[in-house]
């Protein structure tokens, strides 16, 4: 599965700075570029408190929180950015969609990717990324037919994407049934679903890694029905 890419540098550069001599957002952008996300958030919050380009400051907070892997906080900040006058761009909608993907909300993510694709400022590269992200969202929803259909459309538009060709092969060769192995805890169940999905699509290396992680967690958690059967089946 293709990893979702975010153009952080482009987003940071797009933060509009006012002509004021003392604009906290300017320092916030510098901190973002240096990877000092806590300090960046403080500067952007100062801009919001001073009512200096609040929309763009919220957008800066969203980028920083994304980098901190605070996806709920990032999503909230991006929404606040839009609510406070930040320009609706493909990049910001892509961010919001990816936040929802990280939070296992693929249905909501699909909506943001569609909105992003429809923005006039979206480059062809960004549109390509969001189209692929929609495929990933359908897969996360286990809507295999929609994933296949979208991937066919994607390949018609981008026929030279080798990763997408392999993905289509996996979707058609994989037996897209529900994972039959049931765990008592949500954390273990989620990991088992990932293991099942990797082996199902013949991503053997990733499947083995996920299986090892699951085994380690199993030793520390209450267990489940049919674990050894699952291991034997998936490693055949």
Structure tokens at 147: 């994933």
Which H or E run contains 27?
Answer: helix 24-33
216 & 108 share domain: no
> For the residues of 98-122, what is the DSSP string, one character each?
HHHHHTT-HHHHHHHHHHHHT-TT-
99 & 211 share domain: no
* pLDDT score of 148: 87
Q: Sign of the CA dihedral 154, 155, 159, 163?
A: positive
Cβ(195)–Cβ(236) under 8 Å?
no
47 & 151 share domain: yes
Flag whether 39 is in a domain. Answer: yes
Domain of 121, CATH number, reads: 1.25.40.10
149 & 217 share domain: no
Flag whether 93 is in a domain. Answer: yes
Flag whether 24 is in a domain. Answer: yes
Prediction pTM value: 0.67
Write the burial class of residue 35 (CB in 10 Å: 0-12 exposed, 13-18 middle, 19+ buried).
exposed
78 & 191 share domain: no
143 & 209 share domain: no
198 & 131 share domain: no
87 & 142 share domain: yes
User: Residue 200 sits in which domain range?
Assistant: 186-234
197 & 150 share domain: no
pLDDT by residue (tens digit) across 15-73?
Answer: 443 444 456 678 888 888 888 999 999 999 998 988 778 888 999 999 999 999 999 99
103 & 143 share domain: yes
Flag whether 114 is in a domain. Answer: yes
Flag whether 180 is in a domain. Answer: no
Cα separation of 191 and 222, whole Å? Answer: 14
Flag whether 165 is in a domain. Answer: no
Flag whether 166 is in a domain. Answer: no
Question: End of a domain among 158, 177, 208?
Answer: 158
- Among the residues of 34-143, which ranges form H helices? 37-49, 54-67, 71-83, 90-102, 106-117, 124-140
pLDDT by residue (tens digit) across 144-197?
Answer: 889 988 988 998 888 888 888 777 777 766 544 544 445 555 665 666 666 556
Cβ(14)–Cβ(53) under 8 Å?
no
pLDDT by residue (tens digit) across 82-138?
Answer: 999 888 999 999 999 999 999 999 999 999 999 999 998 889 999 999 999 999 999
Query: Structurally, how many domains does the chain consist of?
Result: 2
């Amino acid at each position: 599965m293709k990893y979702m890419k975010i153009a952080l540098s482009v987003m940071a550069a797009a933060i509009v700075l006012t002509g004021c001599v003392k604009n906290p957002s300017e320092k916030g952008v510098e901190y973002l570029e240096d990877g000092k996300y806590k300090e960046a958030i403080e500067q952007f919050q100062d801009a919001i408190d001073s009512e200096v380009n609040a929309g763009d400051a919220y957008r800066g907070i969203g980028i920083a929180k994304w980098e901190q892997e605070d996806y709920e906080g990032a999503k909230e900040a991006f929404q606040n950015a839009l609510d406070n006058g930040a320009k609706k761009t493909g990049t910001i909608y892509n961010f919001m969609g990816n936040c929802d993907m990280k939070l296992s909300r693929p249905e909501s993510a699909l909506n943001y990717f569609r909105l992003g694709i429809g923005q006039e400022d979206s480059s062809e590269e960004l549109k390509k990324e969001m189209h692929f992200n929609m495929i990933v969202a359908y897969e996360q929803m286990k809507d295999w037919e929609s994933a296949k259909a979208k991937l066919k459309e994607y390949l018609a538009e981008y026929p030279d994407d080798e990763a997408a060709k392999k993905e289509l092969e996996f979707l058609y060769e994989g037996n897209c049934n529900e994972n039959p192995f049931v765990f008592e805890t949500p954390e273990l169940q989620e990991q088992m679903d990932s293991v099942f999905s990797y082996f199902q699509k013949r991503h053997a290396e990733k499947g083995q890694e996920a299986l090892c992680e699951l085994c380690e967690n199993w030793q520390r958690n209450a267990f489940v029905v049919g674990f050894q059967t699952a291991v034997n089946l998936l490693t055949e």
